[in-house]
Amino acid sequence: MKNNLPIYILLCLLNLSWVHARNRQQEAETLIKKSVDALYNNPKQASYYAAKVIELFPEERQNNQKAEAMFYYSQAEKLLGNFDVSIKNLYDALEYATPTNKELNGQIYALIGALYCKLTDYNKAIEMSEKAISIFKSIGDSISIALCYNDRGIIHYSMNEFKTAEQFLKQALTINRSQKNLRGISANLNNLCLYEGDFNEKLSLINEAIVINKNLNSQWSLGENYNNMGKQYFYAKQYNNALMALQKAYEVASSISAKELICDNYEYLSWVYDALGDHKNAYKCLMQLYTLSKELQSGSKLRIVEQEISHKQYQNQQRKAELREQAYKIELLKRNLFVLVIIFISLIVLSIFLYQWYKRKKNMQLMVARYNLEQSEHELAELKVRQQELELKSVQSALDNSRQEATSFAVFLHSRNELLEKIREMIKQGYKMDQQALIPHLKKVNAFISQYQNGDKTNSTLLMNVEEKNQEFLQRLSERHPNLTQGEKYLATLLRVNLSTKEISMLTGNVPKTINMNRYRLRKSLNLSSEDDLTDYLQNI
């Protein structure tokens, strides 16, 4: 147990580390969701939530959650008018986002393009927008493509290319309507009202956008809608309506500290007051616009941000170059080490080869000696086999003789039994004869018995021969199985010489059924199973 304690501690630490990482991810997901929900309603709150997520991941390595939080933080700061902070964070977000997360990379490029548009760097804005569109087309993200088209429309509007702007905005609106993307639809409708046109159509579009944004509770977008409504009323020379709409826009923008919207509001108010002949208020609005615009579009701030980004990119390139140089040195070292290893292995292989060659030579000499020895042993074995064959033939011949003798013995017993039966019949006949016929009949019986005496002497010799040959077998059998009866020993003697049931029946004068019963009893006395061969067992004794 004590030996396993460090392992348990390590497992506990790993488990705690995993739980902490999991809790951190869940907290980040919750904060990102809050940031997204508050983005257009309360950009300051959205920025706060996103900043909290960024603080959760202080380590300098790729992390999609951190990159996503930086994206929403930048978007919130853009809505608040802090373009320099926003663009700097977006370039940092590109480094934290993994290359496989194409959707997030595309969103970052799209937002960078929108920021460059706000900072009037339109070429850079179009370049970033094209990168974003290319990424979204590769993954088939229609809604994000519509977002990029919307941004392109704003870029071309800012460049006073109204027809091109309208083409992009209408393309975006078509896609968003097909996808039922309400936020995208409201943005497209709003941006179609940035420039002069059919007043009734424009007013209808902006009212539809206001309805959508009220349902979405998107305060920033509502402020933008009312600004553009005031702008359209100005184009229609409905100045009082324009002032009312712009007042609503100012109230919404001020409530969420949207500097960009307030700038637009000051600009449009200056137009209306100038048209009404209220030059004092027009001048006042222009001064407020100038002050706030200077803060928003500070060229020095942008240059500093771009310098920081360039310096960071230079450092990254320098770090990559150093890493490549280190990798080259490591590769060179590996190659030299590889060559040394090859040479060393070659020497080892050569040594092994020479050793094997010498060993093989010795083995060949040994094999020749072994071959000669094996040949001699083979010849000796052949002689032994021949000798065994001769012995086997001799044993087989002796066995055949024994079998022949046993058969002859069986025939003898059978003929003797027949003789006795005939004598018995002759005696029975004598019982029925009178005194005169009895004496000749007895002489006849006596002559009959004398006739078979010679044969009896021959068979007596045969019986003695069989008895002598089986004496040794009976002795070994009695040693192994001392409880056998004389009848069982006699049957074992007959079975040993491979006599069949029929032959034993002829020999003993018993019916085959009795012989089989005696065989069964003998098997039981010898403790043999039904699978064991009785004759083989007796012959092996």
pLDDT confidence bin for 300, thresholds 50/70/90? very low
Please state which CATH class domain 415-539 belongs to. mainly alpha
Domain boundaries, the chain: 19-313, 415-539
Which tens digit of pLDDT belongs to each residue from 162-183? 899 999 999 999 999 999 999 9
Closest C-alpha to 84, from 45, 119, 44, 127: 119
Whole-angstrom distance, CA of residue 257 vs CA of residue 78:
11
Torsion, Cα of 459, 465, 469, 475 (10° steps): 80
Whole-angstrom distance, CA of residue 283 vs CA of residue 331:
70
pLDDT at position 429 over 90: no
pLDDT confidence bin for 151, thresholds 50/70/90? very high
Cβ proximity of 135 and 105 under 8 Å: yes
Within 13 Å, how many C-alpha atoms sit on residue 236's CB side? 19
Using the Cα atoms of residue 192, residue 44, residue 53 and residue 296 in order, give the sign of their dihedral: positive
Higher model confidence: residue 10 or residue 280? Answer: 280
pLDDT at position 85 over 50: yes
pLDDT at position 299 over 50: no
**How many percent of the chain have pLDDT more than 70?**
84
**What does the pLDDT read at residue 228?**
92
- The domain defined by 19-313 carries CATH number 1.25.40.10: yes
Of the segments 196-205, 361-370, 421-430, which one has the largest average pLDDT value?
196-205
pLDDT confidence bin for 464, thresholds 50/70/90? low
**What does the pLDDT read at residue 247?**
95
Mean pLDDT of the chain, nearest integer = 83
Using the Cα atoms of residue 189, residue 193, residue 199 and residue 203 in order, give the sign of their dihedral: positive
CB neighbours of 487 closer than 8 A, spacing ≥ 6?
518
Q: At what angle do helices 83-96 and 102-118 cross, to 10 degrees?
A: 160
**What does the pLDDT read at residue 258?**
85
Higher model confidence: residue 446 or residue 352? Answer: 352
Q: Which residue is listed with tokens 């300051």?
A: 44
Lowest mean pLDDT among 162-176, 195-209, 309-323: 309-323
DSSP string, 5-64: HHHHHHHHHHHHHHHHHHHHHHHHHHHHHHHHHHTTT-HHHHHHHHHHHHHH--SSS--H
Cβ proximity of 489 and 474 under 8 Å: yes
pLDDT confidence bin for 368, thresholds 50/70/90? confident
